[in-house]
Chain A
């Protein structure tokens, strides 16, 4: 059946909203640019100050104007339409789903939060969360920098150590394993309990081969149920 659910979105309203946001961004940038540039050269000090203040006021006014227009545009309504063929094929009358999403309200629950986890003096992890759902995670060594040059949490560059690159891979696998969309809190708890087992990353020998190292790496895998330590190749 080629019935695909049509998501009827008012595309024009969307593009208007995006334009409004772009306008707001550029007017905000102008405010900071003019503050950064400082006073322009004029013959008298008074003239200089006056010109600067007038420019600043103008810039603020345009920010105000663009902000108002953004608020107005963002009260968008997204309508999801069920195709009529799907409606008629159903034995029961399907309630017409006219889900109205208010984008401005929903953006709150979609916002991304970064959780920084330090595990003893062993590792540091950054957990990227979208509302209560864990989106991705990156693990680095205790002595590694987790901030980028501009002072923000660096959520992209991988650890310089092979052992933590492996742990990052396993943590991503763990996120998929513990996935439970109905109970995001359980997911967070299970994942954190699992991550905690890395406190003995360098101290636990492999539960299968009994050795510490294999190909120069300690046992980086932790069983999802028993939390026992295994080398990547010993876990099969």
Chain B
């Protein structure tokens, strides 16, 4: 795995989510990118129960990524994360007494996957309980493993189809001492998706927050 950046793309004024996505697809195809199937990232939220009283309940996010179809990622809020076999979902059912599924908080991101040279681009729409919330763009530069090395290069590439909505260096990389991307799993990518999902959730539905 290379260096990945996940960002949100604002919906163009006067256009629908789907129309904005179509424009992005068109721009990518004009650039010379080739469509290579589709992708899906999903996230379930669990409340940790049975805590010592007085302490705020922590959240556990269980995520899947079609790029690693046999794995399951569990990210503890502000804490450790693990990558396990797909069976982890069954284990979560058995841990009902400790982690309760926050029903109706399932987030999904689906869309098309494009390849351009050594770049992998995924344009997706984020849906929460079957209502569309926003557009995500994931760009991966596969040959490089150090985010700090290729960030300017990635930024230049993203500008060609995102224009002014190019993000800053993702914060997951800023905290790493060496900036080396973990090549074996996609935890950094999942963290970025989680950050995006939480942002979209707070942005459009302040009343129906998970907590």
Chain A residues with CB under 8 Å of chain B are: 121-122, 141-143, 159, 161-164, 200, 202-203, 205, 211-213, 215-218
The closest CB in chain A to the CB of B148 belongs to A203
Q: Does B185 contact A (CB under 8 A)?
A: no
Chain A residues whose CB sits within 8 angstroms of the CB of B183 once the complex forms: 143
Verify A161–B118 contact, CB threshold 8 A: yes
Beyond contacts A212-B157, A215-B32: 12 other A-B pairs, Cβ-Cβ < 8 A, are: A122-B144, A141-B144, A143-B145, A163-B118, A163-B143, A202-B144, A202-B149, A203-B149, A212-B156, A213-B157, A216-B119, A218-B153
**Cα distance A65–B118 when bound, in Å?**
56
Report the Cα distance A205→B141, complex, angstroms: 16
CB distance from A205 to the nearest CB of B (A): 8
Interface residues on B, range: 20 to 34
The reply to whether A143 and B117 form a contact with Cβ atoms under 8 Å apart is no
Q: With A163-B118, A163-B143 given, is the CB distance from A212 to B149 under 8 Å? A: no
Considering only CB atoms, which chain B residue lies closest to A159 in the complex?
B143
Minimal Cβ-Cβ distance residue in B for A205: B152
Complex interface: chain B residues within 8 A of A205 (CB): 152
Is the Cβ of A141 less than 8 Å from the Cβ of B143? Answer: yes
Q: Would you call B70 an interface residue if the criterion is a C-beta within 8 Å of the partner chain's C-beta atoms?
A: no
Interface: B150 (CB within 8 A): yes
Binding site for A on B (CB under 8 A): 1-2, 32, 116-119, 141-146, 149-150, 152-153, 156-157, 180, 183
Check B157–A202 contact: CB distance below 8 A.
no
Option from A159, A161, A213 in Cβ contact (under 8 Å) with B156: A213
A121–B143 Cα gap in the complex (Å)? 11
From B32, B116, B143, A164 is in contact (CB under 8 Å) with B143
* B148 vs chain A, min Cβ distance (A): 8
Chain B residues whose C-beta falls within 8 Å of the C-beta of A142 in the assembled complex: 145
Residue of B with least CB distance to A141: B143
Asked if residues A202 and B153 are in contact (CB atoms below 8 Å), the reply is: yes
Contact residues in A for B146 (Cβ distance below 8 Å): 121-122, 202
* Residues on the A chain within 8 Å of B32, using CB: 215-216
Q: What's the Cα separation between A215 and B149 when bound, in Å?
A: 19
Q: Which of A122, A141, A163, A216 contacts B149 (CB 8 A)?
A: A122
**Smallest Cβ distance from A231 to chain B, in angstroms?**
12
Q: Are A121 and B180 in contact (CB under 8 A)?
A: yes
Report if A161-B157 is in contact (Cβ < 8 Å); known contacts: A143-B183, A203-B152, A216-B32.
no
Q: Which residue of A lies closest to B155 (CB)?
A: A212
A205 to B157, CA, bound (A): 13
Which residues of the partner chain B approach A164 to less than 8 Å between Cβ atoms?
143
- Can you offer 9 A-B residue contacts whose CB atoms are under 8 A? A122-B149, A142-B145, A161-B118, A163-B117, A212-B157, A213-B153, A213-B156, A213-B157, A217-B118
Residue of B1, B118, B152, B180 near A212 (CB, 8 A) is B152
Assembly CA distance A52 to B156 (angstroms): 70
